[in-house]
Structure 1
Amino acid sequence: MRELDDNELAYHLATGIGDIVRGTRAGGLLYGRSLARVANAVAQDWTDEVLSGHRPDDGTLSEGVADDLSRLDKSRVWIIDVIDGTKEFSTGRSDWSVHVALVEDGVPVLASVGLPDARRVFRSDQVDHVNGPSSGKIVISRNNPPEGAREVADALGLTVRPMGSAGAKMLSVLLGDADVYLHAGGQHEWDQAAPVAVALASGLHASCLDGSPIKFNKSKTYSPDILVCRPDLTEQVLAAVAEHMPAHV
C-alpha cells in the first residue's frame, strides 16, 4: 500500500469521492432521493475502506455513519461529508461539495474541499484567497436563509446571493466571488470542518458569529453558526452581525 502524508490522503479522498458521486449520475438512471441515497452509500463505503487501510488508528466522523463516540478518545479525527448539498446534487445543480478534514485535538489542521462538477479540489496546503476588489456580495443558504442576514447585508452595503452547500459558499469567498459567507440556525461538524480548515489556511477569517473559534470533535456534533469573510471586513461584519442577528446556541 502506497504511503501518503495527511495532505495527500485528504486530497485523494476528496478527488475519489467526487469521482464516485458523479459516476452515480451516469446515464440519468437514478434521480432524486434514490440517486442521493446510492451516491452517499457507495462513496461512504469507499471512504471507510480507504481510512481503515491508511489511518486505522485515527477516529472518524461522517454524516452518513452512526456515531459511536469512540472518536472522543482520539487525538486525530477525520471529519467527512461525501456530499455537502445533497439537494443540489440530486437535482442536477453544481453547487454541492465534498468535505474531507483532519482535526487534531479539536482544531482543523488540514482539509480538501472538492467541487466535483467543476473538476476542482482545494487543498489547505496549496491555497490562497483572492485578494482583489470587493465583489459586493454576501452568500447565504438557499434552503435555510438565516434570520437577520439581509439586514447585515444592508448594513454592509452588500447584495445577498443564495447558494447551496457550505463548501461552495466558502469557496465563493476564497475565489473572490463573494466577500462574506454567514449562516445561523444550525449545521453539523461535517458541514464546517473542511471549509473552515481551507478558509483559515487561505488567509480568510473563519469563526463563530460571535468571533470565537469553531471547535470540533465534540460529543454533540451540532454547530449553531459560522462566518467566513475577507480578513479586512472581519470587524465590520462581526459588528453588523451583533447588531442585526439574534444569538444562536
Structure 2
Amino acid sequence: MTIRDDHSLAGDLATEAGERLLELRARHGFDDQRALKDAGDRSSHRFLMDALERLRPSDSVLSEEATREERMDPRRLTASRVWIVDPLDGTREYSEPGRSDWAVHVALWQEGALMAGAVALPAQGRTLTTAEPPVLPKAPAAGEPFRIAVSRTRPPEFVRELAARLGAELVPIGSAGAKISAVLTGQVEAYVHAGGQYEWDSAAPVAVALAAGAHVSRIDGSPPAYNQADPSLPDILVSLPDLAPTMLACIRDLHRQSP
C-alpha cells in the first residue's frame, strides 16, 4: 500500500478493505447469511483499526463496529483529527448473492470539518475519493423528471410524498454509501433520508460529495455536523446543486402541512 496523504490513505484503505470483503464473500458463500454479515463486519473493522493505528497512531477513530464504550470515549471529542469509518455499509446487500449496492466508508474529520474521504464500492469495481472527486452529471432541465434514491427495504412515506409533489421517480438502492455514490455517478439525481442514521453512514460519501460540488445538507437546509458526542445524524439531503432549492422548499411545505 502506497501512502501519500490523507486523501490517498482514505482511498487505499477503503479499496483494500473492500477487496478483502470480496474475498471473504467468495470464500464463505451465502448459505449462512447471518454468519457472513458478522464475519464481514468484524474482519473489515479489524483491518481498518489496525491500519489506522499503524499509519495514523495519533488520530482518533469512530467506527460503527466499535464498542459503545469506544464510541463514547471523551478523548474523541477533544481530538483534532478523527477517522469516521463504516467497515461494511449495507450488510444486508453484502450477504445477498449478486448484489453490488454495499460499500466501505473511510473519512477524516479535522478541526470541525470533513477533510478527506473515500467510498469503496467493491462489487462495482470502483472507489470514489476526495483525491479525485467525480465529475457531477448535469441536472435535468426545469420541469423534467428526475430520480431520488431511497431504501430498498423501508422507503419512508415522507419521501414518497416528496417524490409525488416533485414528479420524481423513486429508485431503490441498498446502502447509504451506494445511494450517495449514485448521485455522484449519474444513476440518480438526489438522495433524501429522514429515518435515522449515524455519522459513519454518511461521513465518507458526504466528504466525496462536497469535494465534487454536490449539495449536502440536513433536510432543514442546515449543514450536517460530525464528531459529535451523540453520533446520530437522523436525516440528510444529497443532490445535484440545481435541484436543492426546489427540494428543500418542498420539504418545508410538507413539514408545515404535517399534523
Shorter-chain TM-score bucket reads over 0.9
CA RMSD in angstroms, aligned pairs only: 1.8
Match of 2:57 in 1: 56
| C-alpha distance 224-246 of structure 1, shift in aligned 2 (>3 A) | farther
Separation (CA, whole Å) in 2 of partners of 1:65 and 1:246: 39
Separation (CA, whole Å) in 2 of partners of 1:50 and 1:143: 33
Separation (CA, whole Å) in 1 of partners of 2:2 and 2:102: 30
TM-score normalised by the chain length of structure 2? 0.90
Instruction: Spell out, residue by residue over 1:149-181, the C-alpha distance to the aligned partner (whole angstroms, 9 max, x if none).
Output: 111112221111111111111111111121110
Match of 1:129 in 2: 135
> Does the 8 Å CA contact 2:89/2:177 hold for their aligned counterparts?
yes
Which has the larger displacement, 141-150 or 61-70? 141-150
Instruction: Spell out, residue by residue over 1:174-193, the C-alpha distance to the aligned partner (whole angstroms, 9 max, x if none).
Output: 11121110000210000010
Q: Report sequence identity in percent.
A: 42
> Does the 8 Å CA contact 1:149/1:245 hold for their aligned counterparts?
no
Match of 1:44 in 2: 45
Secondary structure (helix, strand or coil) at the match of 2:194 reads strand
Match of 2:78 in 1: 73
Higher strand share: 1
Could you list the runs of 5+ residues in structure 2 that have no partner in the other structure?
A: none
Match of 1:116 in 2: 122
Which has the larger displacement, 153-162 or 183-192? 153-162
Secondary structure (helix, strand or coil) at the match of 2:172 reads strand
Match of 1:231 in 2: 241
Shift of 1:5: 1.1
Secondary structure (helix, strand or coil) at the match of 1:222 reads coil
Which has the larger displacement, 209-218 or 17-26? 17-26
> Does the 8 Å CA contact 1:147/1:245 hold for their aligned counterparts?
no
> Does the 8 Å CA contact 1:148/1:246 hold for their aligned counterparts?
no
Separation (CA, whole Å) in 1 of partners of 2:5 and 2:115: 13
Separation (CA, whole Å) in 2 of partners of 1:86 and 1:152: 28
Match of 2:90 in 1: 85
Secondary structure (helix, strand or coil) at the match of 1:103 reads strand
- Pairing 1:100-115 to 2, within 5 Å after superposition: 100-115=106-121
Residue identity in the other structure for 1:50: A
Separation (CA, whole Å) in 1 of partners of 2:83 and 2:194: 24
Match of 1:148 in 2: 158
Residue identity in the other structure for 2:18: G
> Does the 8 Å CA contact 2:139/2:242 hold for their aligned counterparts?
no
Which has the larger displacement, 24-33 or 109-118? 24-33
Match of 1:5 in 2: 5
Instruction: Spell out, residue by residue over 1:104-141, the C-alpha distance to the aligned partner (whole angstroms, 9 max, x if none).
Output: 12311110001100110011121133323537211111
Which has the larger displacement, 111-120 or 144-153? 144-153
